[in-house]
Structure 1
Amino acid sequence: MKKIWQLGFLLTMAFVLLVGCNQSETQKLSTGKSEKTTQTTDKTATYPMTVKDALGNEVEFKEEPKKIVSLIPSNTEILFALGLDDKIVGVSDNDDYPKAATKKEKVGDMEFNVEKVLSLKPDVVFAHESSAKMVESGLQQLKDAGITVFVVKNAASFEETYDTIKQLGQITNQPQKADQIVAGMKVKVKEVQDKVANVKQRTAFVETSGEPEIYTAGKGTFMQEIFDLANIKNVVDDQSGWFKIDPEQIVKRNPDTIIVMEDEKYFPNIVEKVKQRQGFDSITAVKNNAVVKVDQNLTARTGPRLAEGLEEVAKAVYPEAFK
């Protein structure tokens, strides 16, 4: 069941990515009757605060949140990076990073347990655009119970990820920490780009689900942006979004590197299995032992570790540049 959820999440994310843009969101803050528009990079937070969420809802925060529930791993990773460990009272069953998240109360999978969330008495529940429609009824029950619900945007790029981190930093009164996180990510991205700037460009293919249904990423996806930043030619950039591909097409496109992101729990020994597929022995990546496993959480979770994901993908294709 969890495998199905992971694949569903990636496909849901992919469709959003096709229409995503790299525009920063401007947040509206209000105190009393006077309102002003400001960027989320303000160094202080003033309450009450009204912020528009991903669904266009004007959400009011009367004071700094003291008890937080997160319904998706990307939100959780951002909140922990902001130093809010002591305020996070509940997370989803899929939250496994950082280690401290595994010790928090679990509130369910994608279809969260409304009663469990209510029992934790949070000030705010951070939901996510990618699953908001699926859990619309549950979120409404939380609102009806007087709990503040904020739906976080499904970031479609590095820039939108930066904006999300700054937005959550503003809401939780950690704007300076948010700025530090974003600055650190930008430094890491620049370091990676510098290392691969002068390499002879190589081709790569990425898969997130193995046989019998192999899925990959074309143009208009987050993975394509990662490839572009890392100076990698995507062998399927003539197609858009996340899509299913036949093994014969992979052989025909002959990538220099094959990046596999399957969960080892459901695809054990995936690297060796890829090498052993019929006809794959003719692929350059297989001949050169360039089939590389990369943790998909580093690239699928749009949070502070995204820059690490970029580095791991770049290392997979250009290992000599990182020695």
Structure 2
Amino acid sequence: MKLVDSLNREIHLASVPKRIVSLVPSQTELLVDLGLEDAIVGITKFCVHPKNLIKNKKIVGGTKQVHLDKIKALQPDIILCNKEENTQDIVAACSEISPVHVSDIETISDCVAVIQQYGAMFQKEAAAKHISETIQNNLKDFQEYIKDKPRKKVAYFIWKKPFMVAGKHTFIEYLLKLNNFENVYADLDRYPEIDIANAKAVDTVFLSSEPYPFKEEHKREFLAYFPDARIQLVDGEMFSWYGSRLIKAFAYFKTLH
């Protein structure tokens, strides 16, 4: 079997992979929803959905640092990575162990393409088709819902000390646009550090639950910098987990309006 991943890398598989190591939390969740939980042998410490995986699967590290010896010992048929979540060095090192599939996600179309690739690779075409169509139908419904909503200026914070936001060329920025939110930091690339003392004027400040776990107590701190803005905690998984999590995302986004 020959496949081409999101980076146009050719992957050659002797047969349908039966032992999977996933180094991407959202893609781990997708595997389970495709009916592949039993085939997963290794995951990261951040693969928290569904919750039982942490207890039942081998933890091989995080997304930026992995234990190659643990991965090798699992004898995987395929290792699943992502361009943003995992480093080039991790992909290169894992490629010495087994074939590696790398996803690259910036749009819903990219998500659907990867879901369909997984469906073909693991012979789960029917499940992949159902998940893809559900996401696309939910998106169409949301686009109808959002079309008359007022446009609001927002800043989406992912970290503090230093303060960092989501900028352009990110899946978060793409989903903000779908929500008719104008990201005031869309002129900056990726996840820039900003000088919050000179913060831009916004209608709403979003404090993400991940990777920094913003909580209620952080709202007062941000009000000092954004006195005229609404400070709102948001579920970071809905804004940054691609795959089957997107089935739930659009209903969640409606609650933000």
Structure-1-length-normalised TM-score: 0.70
Query: Residues 262 and 50 from structure 1, CA distance in 2 versus in 1: closer, same or farther, beyond 3 angstroms?
Result: same
Q: Do residues 218 (structure 1) and 164 (structure 2) align?
A: no
Residues 259 and 118 of structure 1: CA distance in aligned 2, closer, same or farther (over 3 Å): same
**Which secondary structure does the structure 1 equivalent of 2:73 belong to?**
helix
1:97 and 2:49 are equivalent in the alignment: yes
Q: In the alignment, is the contact (CA less than 8 A) between 1:89 and 1:104 conserved in 2?
A: yes
Would the alpha carbon gap of residues 124 and 275 (structure 1) be closer, same or farther in structure 2, given more than 3 Å must change? same
Counterpart residue type for residue 225 of structure 2: F
The answer for the alignment partner of 1:129 in structure 2 is 83
Q: Partner amino acid for 2:65?
A: E
Corresponding position of 2:221: 276
1:272 deviates by 3.1
1:301 aligns with 241
Tell me the amino acid that sits aligned with residue 231 of structure 1.
N
Corresponding residue for 1:116? 70
1:258–1:292 contact (8 Å) kept in structure 2: yes
Alpha-carbon distance change, 119 to 310 in structure 1, aligned in 2, over 3 angstroms:
same
SS in 2 for 1:66: coil
Indicate if the aligned counterparts of 1:208 and 1:215 stay in contact, CA closer than 8 A: yes
Tell me by how many angstroms 1:68 deviates: 1.5
Structure 1 distance, partners of 2:222, 2:81, is 40
Do structure 1's residue 139 and structure 2's residue 90 form an aligned pair?
no
**Does residue 1:180 correspond to 2:134, yes or no?**
no
Give the share of equivalent positions with the same residue, in percent.
24
1:23 alignment partner in structure 2? none
Q: Kindly state the Cα deviation for residue 91 of structure 1 after the two structures are TM-superposed.
A: 1.1
Tell me the distance in 2 between the aligned counterparts of 1:268 and 1:156. 24
Matched letter for residue 70 of structure 2: K
Where 1:135 maps in the other structure, the secondary structure is helix
What do the CA deviations read for 1:103-142 (whole angstroms, capped 9, x no partner)? 2121222332222223223222223333241224531441
* Equivalent position of 1:257 in the other structure: 204
CA 281–120 in structure 1, closer or farther in 2 if over 3 Å, else same: closer
1:196 equivalent in alignment to 2:136: no
CA distance in 2, matches of 1:154, 1:99: 25
Tell me by how many angstroms 1:167 deviates. Answer: 0.4
- 1:295 Cα offset (Å): 2.2
User: Within the alignment, does 1:231 sit opposite 2:183 as a pair?
Assistant: no
- 1:60 and 2:7 correspond: no
Name whichever structure is richer in helix by fraction.
Answer: 1
Q: CA deviation at 1:85?
A: 0.9
Aligned partners of 2:213 and 2:80: how far apart in 1? 31
- RMSD of aligned C-alpha atoms? 2.4
Provide the C-alpha distance between the structure 2 equivalents of 1:281 and 1:115, rounded to a whole number of angstroms.
48
Q: Kindly state the Cα deviation for residue 283 of structure 1 after the two structures are TM-superposed.
A: 1.9
Deviation at 1:189, TM superposition (A): 1.6
Once the two structures are TM-superposed, the CA of residue 165 in structure 1 deviates from its matched residue by 0.8
Q: TM-score, normalised by structure 2?
A: 0.87
The amino acid of 1:171's aligned partner reads M
Residues 29-78 of structure 1: per-residue CA shift (max 9 Å, x gap): xxxxxxxxxxxxxxxxxxxx101234544222222222212122132122
AA partner of residue 170 (structure 2)? T
Please tell me whether residue 107 in structure 1 is matched to residue 96 in structure 2: no
Q: Counterparts in 2 of 1:68-107, with a 5 A limit?
A: 68-102=20-54, 103-107=56-60
Deviation digits for residues 136-167 of structure 1, max 9, x if unmatched?
Answer: 4531441xxxxx32222221211111101110
Are the structure 2 counterparts of residues 220 and 60 from structure 1 closer, same or farther at C-alpha, using a change threshold of 3 Å?
closer
Q: In 2 relative to 1, CA 66–237 (structure 1 residues): closer, same or farther, beyond 3 Å? A: closer
Query: Are 2:95 and 1:155 equivalent residues in the alignment?
Result: no
- The Cα shift of 1:258 comes to 1.4
Q: 1:55 to 1:190 in 2, by over 3 A?
A: closer
The CA distance in 1 between the partners of 2:151 and 2:82, in whole Å, is 36
Number of aligned residue pairs: 254
The answer on whether the counterparts of 1:111 and 1:134 sit within 8 Å (CA) in structure 2 is no
What is the distance in 1 between the residues matched to 2:113 and 2:148?
Answer: 30
Question: What amino acid sits opposite 1:106 in the alignment?
Answer: I
Q: 1:166 aligns with which of 105, 116, 136?
A: 116
Find the aligned partners of 1:284 and 1:55 in 2 and give their Cα distance. Answer: 40
Q: Which moved more, 1:85-94 or 1:100-109?
A: 100-109
